[in-house]
Structure 1
Amino acid sequence: MYKLITCDLDETLLSDNTHVCERNKEAIKKATDLGVKFVPATGRGYDAVSGTLKEIGLYNKENEYVISFNGACVTENKSNQVLRFDGLNYDIANELYKMGKEKDVCIHVYTKDIVYVYNMNDDERKYMEKRHRFEEIDKADLSFIKGQDIPKVLYESTNQEYLRDIAKEMGELANKLDVSYSSNRYLEFNSQGINKGVGLLWLANKLGIKPEETMALGDNFNDLSMIKAAGLGVGMANTNPDMKDQCNIITKADNNQGGVAEAIERFVLNEDNN
């Protein structure tokens, strides 16, 4: 039986309206009643997950967890207690910020409490307002947050080809980073060796759960590390087509139709989905 489920939020657990559908809520409740750990694994910060935790009944609960910032942080839901943190080196984060300015992309710089955003357009502002606490900036560099923890930096553009070109041009800097893509608009940078898969395996080990007893659910490339690390890697019907063949299964339902519930019903609750 799968004892630990890690699950991406946007475009996976959450419908396009940024909420959890009733089918997903019911399946998660049944699984957690059996003692299964349901762990959101997100590129967001842990504070930004509180609304979703309330919807699925895991808010401020002891012995329940969140993997955030693409694996840079693992917290216990009770009082958001940080159990593990591995952020970016300041000099690397500052270099990424300056490079992003030269490339004329929107830049997100994450701290534990807030996202600082440079060069934000109206579309991105609307997208972020539903998901994060953020502050728009126009700074020459990141000296104003030097000394703070910086979990990750990302570039935003709806031109995915342009983002991939930027990644190819990064040279030696890319070797110091864990690079991924998400939401068909983000190029994300974490510290080297930090990703959702590492977060999953670290938490499973802490809880005494074997890797083969874990399930991971996602839809995009920042989820791929945990999909490949888990005993069962599940992609939603709306998963990026370029990574579907790297998932163990693809659900029939997408994020708006309860794809997460479909996987839980089939592989945890042993219900017939046909």
Structure 2
Amino acid sequence: MEQKLIALDLDGTTLNANSQLNPATIQTMQRLQAAGHIVSIVTGRSYQGSRAIYDALHLTSPMINFNGSLGHLPHQSWAGEYQFTVNKAVVTALLDQRVQLGINEIIAETKHATLTAGQDLIAGKFFPEIAGSPELTPQTLTRNPNSLVLLVQAERRTAVVDWIDHYFGDLVDVGVWGGPNAILEVTSKGVHKAKGLAYLAKQFNIERQNIIAFGDEHNDLEMLQFAGLGVAMANGTEAIRTAADDVTTYDNDQDGVAHYLNDYFDASVALAE
């Protein structure tokens, strides 16, 4: 069988509802990697927030963080490393207008650092790496961040998106989380998971038809559309399930990705025989 590039979203996909890896998932990824396939994490999470998962899977491939804004090889230097960043002027303006806009907390992240301004009660649940992080100010922000996360007042969500688009729409894109929590992600213009996935494929000379990607949420859409086989989780949003080439039988709590890959590769071997 030709070498495959397997792209894994984390939350709601590879991780269970407790944001942990099930043993079956670990075993499957190790088996496929040992068979010569490339297994890569492609996530909206920061490096700090995904490094332990990478290590638990015993991966050796590059990882894509911040929805495509950072591509790197954990624990090693890699000539192919790249970064896209958000201009500090955007951060400064948001800090200045934070209270007026109804933004409870701003999280600015780079490969190795996290800075925060304000406070939101749910922030630690979704972004554990912010615990004890330094305060985000124009003075402490010494470099352009890879990503901004805004936890906003629910009734102000649309107004915040419109404000950013009006003043900085030529510099950044704003992603809106699904579900009940009003969380926005700000990244460099035109950057999404598919951009990172395409970069990986080029680095390893993998054709699009040999890419399998898994996801469950809005920020996975471009990646699933780019992959030769884009697979939505059974627990994914309706929009993602509709756009995908296929849908897993089992959800993320039931090792949906592992079941799907085991069936896919076992069937491929049987056909080859």
Distance 1:164 1:214, change over 3 A: farther
The Cα RMSD (Å) is: 2.5
Measure how far apart 1:242 and its partner are: 3.1
Corresponding residue number in structure 1 for 2:40: 39
| TM-score relative to the length of structure 1 | 0.85
Q: Which AA in structure 2 matches 1:238?
A: N
Corresponding residue number in structure 2 for 1:168: 162
Q: Counterparts of 1:139-154 in structure 2 under 5 Å?
A: 141-146=137-142, 148-154=143-149
Q: Between Structure 1 and Structure 2, how many residues are aligned? A: 263
1:178 aligns with 2:180: no
Distance 1:145 1:200, change over 3 A: same
Point out where structure 2 has 5 or more consecutive residues left out of the alignment: none
1:22 aligns with 2:23: yes
Match of 1:88 among 75, 86, 89: 86
**Cα distance in 2 for residues equivalent to 1:222 and 1:94:** 25
Distance 1:180 1:92, change over 3 A: same
Report if aligned partners of 1:71, 1:199 keep a CA contact under 8 Å in 2. Answer: yes
1:102 aligns with 2:100: yes
SS in 2 for 1:10: helix
Distance 1:166 1:262, change over 3 A: farther
Residues 16-38 of structure 1: CA deviation (Å, up to 9, x unaligned) = 22211122112212211211111
Distance 1:137 1:65, change over 3 A: closer
Point out where structure 1 has 5 or more consecutive residues left out of the alignment: none
Q: Counterparts of 1:98-247 in structure 2 under 5 Å?
A: 98-105=96-103, 106-129=105-128, 132-135=129-132, 141-146=137-142, 148-157=143-152, 159=154, 162-169=156-163, 170-182=165-177, 184=179, 185=181, 186-247=183-244
Of 225-234 and 181-190, the range deviating more from structure 2: 181-190
SS in 1 for 2:253: coil
**Cα distance in 2 for residues equivalent to 1:144 and 1:196:** 28
Of 195-204 and 219-228, the range deviating more from structure 2: 219-228
Measure how far apart 1:189 and its partner are: 1.0
SS in 1 for 2:254: coil
Report if aligned partners of 1:253, 1:259 keep a CA contact under 8 Å in 2. Answer: yes
Measure how far apart 1:203 and its partner are: 0.9
Distance 1:55 1:90, change over 3 A: same
Match of 1:255 among 249, 252, 256: 252
Residues 74-94 of structure 1: CA deviation (Å, up to 9, x unaligned) = 111342647111111221232
Report if aligned partners of 2:108, 2:149 keep a CA contact under 8 Å in 1. Answer: yes
Of 13-22 and 174-183, the range deviating more from structure 2: 174-183
